[in-house]
Structures are given as structure tokens and as C-alpha cells.
A and B are shown apart, each in its own frame.
Chain A
């Protein structure tokens, strides 16, 4: 397939000899409003997405860790390292997560920066930003929880 590689790259380079005008520059204003009270915001977003914050995970044998929590979006970020592989956080009916409050970061830029600091040069093979339990609205836009992934997403804060 090396010939195809060279062909495609040659076509790309030939095409780019004619420049296309750059679109008007954005302003430097932040794209999202700043997130202030991290834990409060995380709880609001997470529960609005039908995530459940619980006091105990007793009775749930398979509990995963996570890389961080994102206040802006109520997301839990897992990787093959923090969650013990790929299937543990997607195959069960209930995905139970244990996290510390100090794992909450403000927003997606902070979360991606944290991941890069932690993993640059030796990334886990897969990561997922989990924002609520699995869902679908493919049928008449009616929201149904638990399409293929976990039907419930539980989170316990630990010290």
C-alpha cells in the first residue's frame, strides 16, 4: 500500500499549492463560561444525565476507578489503566465507579491536559469520556436508557 500512500500524499501536496483563504479569526474570549464550584457543578450535571451518586457500592462486585471527573459536563473519564481494561466500564448492566473529590477538574481542556501530563509518551490503548449511562433516541427521538452499555452509572466518592 506504499504506492497508495505516496499517491495520496502527492495529490494532497499538489492540491494545497493553491491556498484557500483563512476564515475570520475568533476572539480570545473563552468558549465556555468558567466553572466555579467544581463539586456542586459536577453533581448537578452528573445527576441531570441520570448518573447516580451513592453512599456505598456494597453489592456491586465490579467497581472501576477513573482518571478524572469533569465538572463542566458531569463526565467520568476512564482508560484501560484506570478502569482495568476496556470491557469493565461498558459491558456490565451497572457501571459502578469509585472516585475521590479531588479528581474533579473544571472542564474538558483541563481534563485533556491532565491526561496528557499523566500519559504523554505511554498512552493507554483506549480511553472514554463517559457522560451518563448508555442511551439512545433512535426511535422517534424517545430517550431510552441502556441501549448497549450500562443502564445505570453509579458513583461513590471516597476519601
Chain B
């Protein structure tokens, strides 16, 4: 099966899974209530979105300048910068570093970019033990499952499911499980040789990366091991430190509804002289991996504004019914269906933009105003222009066009429609009984004036 067939099969199965639907509805219901409350802390949420869109537009449209400034500052602060064109380049750099330093164990804090480059598999292959330390990601790792959601990795699991993963009784409380993971992972932090994180933002004017989290695992990951490696997509840049005064609350509010997550950290380099602890090495990997292809598409360039808050997933009625794993992509939901055909193979992933009713709920919630559902339309157009659609579909639209250009053929077509079986739609739903007379016929009979 190709990716499109796999998607169709998985989507069909999940859409009918009522248990899955109930779990997701409950989780997103809790999220929706928190976000509605969180937005009231802003004077004007819509205006906040506009500010954020400006900040990201400014960055992305002068990205070369901000990347160079960021790099210069990181190096001034004693850090090292690696530019990685591909996932493989990024993996190769980290593995070589780990092998040079004799790294045996790596603690990781939640990072979609490391998912994107399949870093855990690469570590395992090289005999290095990667340990996910975000609770949700840790559960995913134990289950050998990819994250279900870019912010809430185990949204699809119930407490009982997770207890089973931990080999604990089904009645175990969330607190007991969290404390179990805390104790287990504390040992990992204390014995790891390298901490790997992503970054939510990369601040150009101070050369710092910013990491948003709630648990403290990212802070431990860049505090205890001797080496800190941060993998940063080049679109994560922001111009100024002061921009975080908006972007931090905006990300928290859209991500979880919190006014601010528990920890928002800035890391500017390794331990300095006079500091009692910290890392001896700080490496930032600036990852392209297809991002410059998306950048070159001016029409959809704003998709690089994304701050990975997950709001568009939570708002998406398709996501809510088919779940994150069905997409089989690193980035799921509307943003994933926009960017995946650009970042990866456009033909292989061309089905994703079509798997949307184009309802636009995603665009309305996006805190940086990405025109998501219109970009799904643009991706559909691109797919057809490149000939990725089914030849029969193309033929059908040609015939349809031919009929629609002629009122006579159109009327004839309308009459034929009455005998056309509308499967697969009618497999599950009733199709209306076509009326005896069309509006056109009615008008002609009753209203036409000489």
C-alpha cells in the first residue's frame, strides 16, 4: 500500500472507532474550555494574533539576516552552530559528536524536530540509549509509538491504557504514574552524557534558544549532562528577545490554555566561568530539511510562521475523527497537510490536502494567522497541475466542464443525475429524492416574461 492507501484505510477505521472519538472529544473539550478562559487575559486576542503574524513575517522574510545574526551571537556566547541541509546531515553531526565524547546515554526533552529526523532510531542504531523524558513522550517511547499530537503526545490514551503501559494496575492514578516516571527518569538525568532538546524560538539578537515546557525535563536536560545539543528548524528564528513577551503567552494560550507554561527557559551557551554548574558544550543545529523549499513558495511561505502550538489540530474536525497516527507524518492535522507535501515528497503526500472539508476552523484559531485552509486549496491545485490526481477524476471534470458550459447539456445532465448512483456517499446516508422540476424549469414555466 502506498501512503494514500494507508491513509484511507487507517482513516476509515479510526472514523468508526467510537471509543477513540470519545477519548479525543473529552481531551479537546478540556482544552477548549482552558483556551477560552486563557484568551480573556488578552486585551484583544485578534490583535495579539496580528502582532504575532507581523513578528513572524518580519523574521521569515528576512531569514538570512536573522540566521546570520543568531549564529554570530551563539558563537560569541561560546556555543557552536551546525548547519544541516538534511535530516541525515543533522543525525550525522550528532552521532559523530556523541561518539567523539563517548556518550552512552542521552536524555531528550520533547522535540518534534528530533521526531522529524528520526533521531532516536539513529541513536539506537549506534548503540547509544536515547531516553524521552517528557512524560507523554516517555509513554510513547515505551509503547514504541510516534506522538499522536505535536503538543499532547498521548491524547489518545486513557489512564488505564497508560497504566497498562507502565505494567501497573488499571486503577493507578495519574499522580502515581507521574511519580513513577519521575523517579525512573531522575536516574536517567543524573547519568546521561548528553541532553538533546528542540527549541520553540531562536532569538537572533541575543543568540539564545527559548524552550517552553511544564515538567522541568527540558531544564534538567540542559542542566545535568555535560553536552547540550539543540535541534532547531531554521523557521524558529525571532528577531528580538522582547518578542517573547507576546510569543510566550500566545504559545501557551494556544497550546494548552495556560497564561504561561511553568517553565520558559533561555539558553545562551555552555557554562561560563563563575557559574557553578551547567554544560561544557552547547551545540545548535540549524535544520533546513525542506524548509527552504517551502520558503521559496511565496504563496505558502506563511506556513513557516508556525509555532507548533497544536491549535489547528484541536480545532480540526477531521483530526478529531481520524486521530494523529492516521496521518503517518511528523506534523499532523491541518499544518501537517499544508507543509508535508513541501517538506517531503509532494506526490507521495498529495492526498493529505484533499482529506479536509476546507471548513477553515484551523485558520480561525491559528495564533500567527497562517492561511491554513486556503493553503490546502493551493496544495490541491499544485497536485492537479503536476498531474498527481487520478486520471479518471481529471476526465470527469473535463466532461463536467463541457456540460456546464452549455445550458442545454447542463439540463440534460440534471435529468441524468436522477439515475446516477451516488455511492460511496449513499452507502451510509440517504440521498434526497430529486424533485420533478428544477428551478430553471419552474422559472421558465411561471416567471418567464416575453
- The verdict on A150 contacting B216 (CB below 8 Å), with A32-B42, A75-B260, A139-B154 known, is yes
**In the docked arrangement, what's the CA distance between A80 and B222, Å?**
12
Tell me how far the C-beta of A21 lies from the nearest C-beta in chain B, rounded to whole angstroms.
8
Tell me how far the C-beta of A106 lies from the nearest C-beta in chain B, rounded to whole angstroms.
11
> B220 to A148, Cβ gap below 8 A?
yes
Interface string of B83-95 (1 = CB under 8 A from A): 1110001000100
**In the docked arrangement, what's the CA distance between A11 and B286, Å?**
14
- B207's nearest neighbour on chain A, judged by CB, is A123
B43, B54, B242, B301: the one contacting A33 at CB < 8 Å is B43
**In the docked arrangement, what's the CA distance between A31 and B48, Å?**
6
Interface residues of A in 86-106 (CB under 8 A from B): 86-88, 90-91
Decide if A63 is an interface residue (CB 8 Å cutoff): no
Interface string of A127-153 (1 = CB under 8 A from B): 111111111111111101011111000
Decide if A19 is an interface residue (CB 8 Å cutoff): yes
A5, A91, A149: the one contacting B262 at CB < 8 Å is A149
> B215 to A148, Cβ gap below 8 A?
yes
**In the docked arrangement, what's the CA distance between A16 and B292, Å?**
10
A31, A87, A125: the one contacting B77 at CB < 8 Å is A125
**In the docked arrangement, what's the CA distance between A32 and B85, Å?**
39
- A33's nearest neighbour on chain B, judged by CB, is B43
Decide if B31 is an interface residue (CB 8 Å cutoff): yes
Decide if A59 is an interface residue (CB 8 Å cutoff): no
Residues of B within 8 A of A112 (CB): 241-242, 244-245
Residues of A within 8 A of B260 (CB): 73, 75, 129, 131
A19, A126, A133: the one contacting B223 at CB < 8 Å is A126
Residues of A within 8 A of B296 (CB): 11, 14-15, 18
Decide if B394 is an interface residue (CB 8 Å cutoff): no
**In the docked arrangement, what's the CA distance between A137 and B152, Å?**
9
Interface residues of A in 48-82 (CB under 8 A from B): 49, 73, 75, 80-81
- The verdict on A129 contacting B219 (CB below 8 Å), with A23-B57, A85-B275, A140-B158 known, is no
Decide if B353 is an interface residue (CB 8 Å cutoff): no
> A142 to B242, Cβ gap below 8 A?
no
**In the docked arrangement, what's the CA distance between A9 and B272, Å?**
30
> A125 to B271, Cβ gap below 8 A?
yes
Residues of A within 8 A of B299 (CB): 20
Which interface class (under 10, 10 to 19, 20 to 34, 35 or more) fits A? 35 or more
Interface residues of B in 242-281 (CB under 8 A from A): 242, 244-246, 248-249, 256, 258-272, 275-278
Residues of B within 8 A of A38 (CB): none
**In the docked arrangement, what's the CA distance between A45 and B157, Å?**
32
- The verdict on A85 contacting B277 (CB below 8 Å), with A108-B244, A129-B260 known, is yes
> A18 to B298, Cβ gap below 8 A?
yes
For the residues of A in contact with B, the DSSP-based class is loop
> A131 to B63, Cβ gap below 8 A?
no
Decide if B398 is an interface residue (CB 8 Å cutoff): no
Decide if B131 is an interface residue (CB 8 Å cutoff): no
**In the docked arrangement, what's the CA distance between A14 and B63, Å?**
11
Decide if B178 is an interface residue (CB 8 Å cutoff): yes
Interface residues of A in 1-25 (CB under 8 A from B): 1, 4-5, 7-9, 11-16, 18-20, 22-25
Residues of B within 8 A of A136 (CB): 135-136, 178, 214-215
> B177 to A139, Cβ gap below 8 A?
yes
Tell me how far the C-beta of A68 lies from the nearest C-beta in chain B, rounded to whole angstroms.
13
Residues of A within 8 A of B51 (CB): 26, 31
Residues of A within 8 A of B179 (CB): 146
**In the docked arrangement, what's the CA distance between A137 and B255, Å?**
12
Decide if B234 is an interface residue (CB 8 Å cutoff): yes
Residues of A within 8 A of B85 (CB): 4, 7-8
> A130 to B275, Cβ gap below 8 A?
no
Decide if B295 is an interface residue (CB 8 Å cutoff): yes
Interface residues of B in 106-135 (CB under 8 A from A): 133-135
Decide if B67 is an interface residue (CB 8 Å cutoff): yes
Residues of A within 8 A of B47 (CB): 26-27, 29, 31
Q: Which of B77, B83, B153 gathers the greatest number of chain A CB atoms within 10 Å?
A: B83
> B135 to A1, Cβ gap below 8 A?
no
Residues of A within 8 A of B276 (CB): 84-85, 88
Q: Which of A8, A87, A108, A146 gathers the greatest number of chain B CB atoms within 10 Å?
A: A8
Can you list 30 contacts pairing A with B, beta carbon distance less than 8 Å?
A7-B83, A8-B288, A9-B67, A11-B296, A12-B292, A20-B60, A22-B57, A26-B47, A30-B43, A45-B259, A49-B262, A86-B219, A90-B219, A123-B77, A125-B269, A125-B278, A129-B263, A130-B263, A131-B258, A131-B261, A131-B264, A136-B214, A139-B178, A141-B152, A147-B135, A147-B216, A148-B216, A148-B220, A149-B215, A149-B262
Apart from A20-B57, A27-B47, A123-B208, what are 19 other A-B pairs with CB-CB below 8 Å? A11-B292, A12-B295, A16-B64, A20-B60, A31-B44, A84-B276, A87-B223, A90-B263, A91-B224, A116-B241, A126-B222, A128-B266, A129-B265, A130-B262, A138-B153, A140-B26, A148-B185, A148-B186, A148-B219
A interface vs B, CB < 8 Å? 1, 4-5, 7-9, 11-16, 18-20, 22-27, 29-33, 45, 49, 73, 75, 80-81, 84-88, 90-91, 107-109, 111-113, 115-116, 123-142, 144, 146-150
3 closest pairs, A vs B, by CB?
Answer: A149-B216, A26-B50, A147-B215
